[in-house]
Every structure is written in structure tokens, then in C-alpha cells.
Amino acid sequence: MAKTRTVGIGMDYSPTSKAALKWAANNLIEDGDRIILIHVQPPNADHTRKQLFEDTGSPLVPLEEFRDTNFSKQYGLTNDPEVLDILDTVSRTRGAKVVAKVYWGDPREKLCYAVDDLKLDSLVVGSRGLGALKRVLLGSVSKYVVTNASCPVTVVKGTPKL
């Protein structure tokens, strides 16, 4: 029997992060894998759970609890039916165990931290497809993560914006 893999998926509910989730569900996740949906909230976000978990990130939250609107509100997350549907489907059809974790801070640093913290075998992130100027000014999260993460990273590209 193959080793159970732990696959992280960066999620900010943008079209490209949803595309990354769909790609992982269709091309990467195998029977029995563990999926960790990783959310990174801005450091200045003020949510009820932030004070408790700002340094370590939230506890791992099972899909059943993550689906609850009260959970989403406590962490300042979007309760997105499309994301929940994809997670339900991959959980049901592949027996994947789905959990979520919330961090606070710079997405580049926190996604790399999550790789080690969660002992990920692989990380899937979306690319916003920033134009050259915006990429220089804002920096690319996906490029930073590919360069600095200690596990394989798959970047699912979005449509380039000028």
C-alpha cells in the first residue's frame, strides 16, 4: 500500500486558487490522501480566533466543521459553495481526508512555513497572472513559494493581466 500523502492547497477564494483546487482534485489527489486547505489572512485582520492562534496558526479543522458558517466568520473566511462542493466530491470519491488551517501574515512566508509546519509532500497554489509591472511592485507569491518551499510546488496559472 502506498504512503498516504499530505497535499497543501493555498486558498484565498480567487479564481486562480479555485483553479488550483480543481486541478489538484482532478490530477493529483489519490485514494486516501490528506488535503489541507491553507488560508493566510492579512496580519492586520481582526477575527475572534486570531488572538488565540496568531503565532501557530489555527488547529486543523475537519471539513464538516469548516463547512459551518460560524467557523468561517470566526476566522474571517469566505463560505464558498463551489470550494465546498469540490472538497466534498474529492472526499467522497477518493476517500481523501480534508482539513483546513488558517495562518496570519505575509502569504509568501506563511505558505513556506506551512510546508514545514504541516509536513507537506506537495503544495498547489494559483498564480494571479500579474503583468510584469505589478509583479515587480507587488512580488509574486507563487514565484517566492516555488523558490523557497522545501517540497514540490505546482503553480496553476491564471489568465495574464496587462
Domains and their CATH numbers in the chain = 6-157 (3.40.50.620)
C-alpha atoms less than 13 angstroms from C-alpha of 70 in its C-beta half-sphere = 2
Cβ atoms < 10 Å from Cβ of 76: 17
- Kindly report, residue by residue over 31-74, the tens digit of the pLDDT: 999 999 999 988 887 777 777 788 889 999 998 888 888 888 78
- Kindly report, residue by residue over 12-43, the tens digit of the pLDDT: 998 889 999 999 999 999 999 999 999 998 88
The model's pTM is 0.88
